Amino acid sequence: MSTAIINISSLVTNDTSLGAGPLGLVQDAAVVIDGDRIAWVGETSKAPATDNRVDAGGRSGLPGFVDSHSHLVFAGDRTAEFNARMSGESYRAGGIRTTVAATRAASDAALEAGLVRFVHEAVRQGTTTLETKSGYGLTTADEARALRIAAAHVDEVTYLGAHVVAPEFDNDPEGYVALVTGEMLDACAPYAGWIDVFCERGAFDGDQARAVLEAGKARGLQLRVHANQLGPGPGVRLAVELGAASADHCTHLTDADVDALAQGDTVATLLPGAEFSTRAPWPDARRLLDAGVTVALSTDCNPGSSFTSSMPFCIALAVRDMGMTPDQAVRSATAGGAAALRRTDVGRVSPGARADLILLDAPSHVHLAYRPGVPLVSAVWRQGVRQV
C-alpha cells in the first residue's frame, strides 16, 4: 500500500537536491510512502496517485529524530541526587553506582517494561531511530541481559561495560578492564553493534579506554566514546585516532581536540540535557560547526545526569544555550544523529530512505526552538507505519 502525505507547509528533507538551503526545504510539499520506504518527494501539486492520502493541513514536516545516545535499561531513579545537585552539590561519575545496585536487583521483566515505556515516550516526541547502551549491570550476566533486552526494542545497541569500574573491583581497576575486554565482551558482543567507554576522571583513563575500544574493534564492534564531559582529557583525540563514529559530550575541548575532529570523520555528539541537569558549562556548538565538524544532538536519556527523552527539548536548549541556529539544531538532531550511527537510511526524507517522518502542529521546524516545551509533534511515521 502506498500513501501520500500532502499539503505539508514546509518540509525538511536534509537532501539539497530536493529543496532549498542546507535543509533541502520543500514548500507545499508531499511525501509518498511505499511500504517502509520513501518513494517520492516534491510539491503537492505534482504528487502521483497513491492508494491512500493523508492531508497534513499545512503542518510542517521533517525526518524523524535520530537519538544516537541513550541509557534506557535500568531500574530505580536518582531523584535525591538530582535534588542535592540542584541545591549545590556537583555531579560526579560515581553516582552511576546507585543505579547499578537497583538494576542488578531488578527482574528482566521490570527492566524490559521500563525500556519499553521510555521507547514509547521517545516515539511520541518524534524519535524514530534510537540507540541505547548497557552499563548499569557491570557483571557479565547483567551486562549481557541488558543488551539482550535492548536488542529486542531499539535500532542500535551499544556495549558499555566500561561505564565505571564495578564496585567489586574498587582495588583492582585493571582486573575490571580485563573482565570488560575478556569474558564480559565475549558474552555481550553477540547482542551489540557498538562498544563504548566512559573516558573520564572517576571512570577510565586513556590507556584503559584504548584497551577497551581496541578489544571491541577486534571483535567487530564499531566504536563510540564518552569524551571530555567533566573536563579536558584524551577521549576526543582517542576517538578520532581509532576511527570512532562518535565522541559524545565534548563539553571541554581544546583547540587540538577541535582540530582533530575537523580533520577526521568522528561526529561530535552534544548532549545538552546533561548540561541542563548538572548545571555544567554548555558545549560550544558554534565553535565546532565553524570548524567544519559534523555535530549530532541527542538526549543522553539516563536516570542520573539527563533524565529526558525529548529531542525537541534538546533542540531548544541547543539554540538557546549552545550557539546553534534552529536550522543547525534540527539538522544535528536528524542527519547528524544518523551520521553518528553511520546510517544513510535515516535522518532524511528522500527517495530510498526509511519512511520515518514527523509532522509538527506548526508551520515551520523553527517552532521547535521558538515554542519550547510545547508538544508540537502531531504525527509520527516509523518504517512507513503511523505511530502517533
Tell me which residue has cell 549552545: 322
Contacts of 106 (CB under 8 A, 6+ apart): 75, 76
Residue 90 banded pLDDT, cuts 50, 70, 90: confident
pLDDT recorded at residue 231 = 95
* 10-25: average pLDDT: 97
Q: Which three cell numbers stand for residue 34?
A: 511505499
Helix ranges (DSSP H) in 264-295: 272-278, 285-290
pLDDT in tens, 162-215: 999 999 999 999 999 999 999 999 999 999 999 999 999 989 999 999 999 999
Q: What is the DSSP letter of 15?
A: -
Gyration radius of the chain's alpha carbons: 20
Query: Nearest-CA neighbor of 62 among 14, 21, 17?
Result: 14
The whole-angstrom separation of Cα 197 and Cα 224 is: 7
Q: What is the rounded average pLDDT for all residues in the chain?
A: 97
CA distances in angstroms from 355 to 28, 36, 50, 51, 307, listed in the order given:
19, 5, 15, 16, 28
pLDDT in tens, 350-380: 999 999 999 999 999 999 999 999 999 999 9
Q: Is residue 30's pLDDT more than 80?
A: yes
The sign of the CA dihedral 85, 330, 197, 141 is positive
**Parallel, antiparallel or unpaired: strands 26-34 and 37-43:** antiparallel
Residue 70 banded pLDDT, cuts 50, 70, 90: very high
Q: Is residue 32's pLDDT more than 70?
A: yes
The sign of the CA dihedral 314, 318, 319, 324 is negative
By residue count, the chain amounts to 388
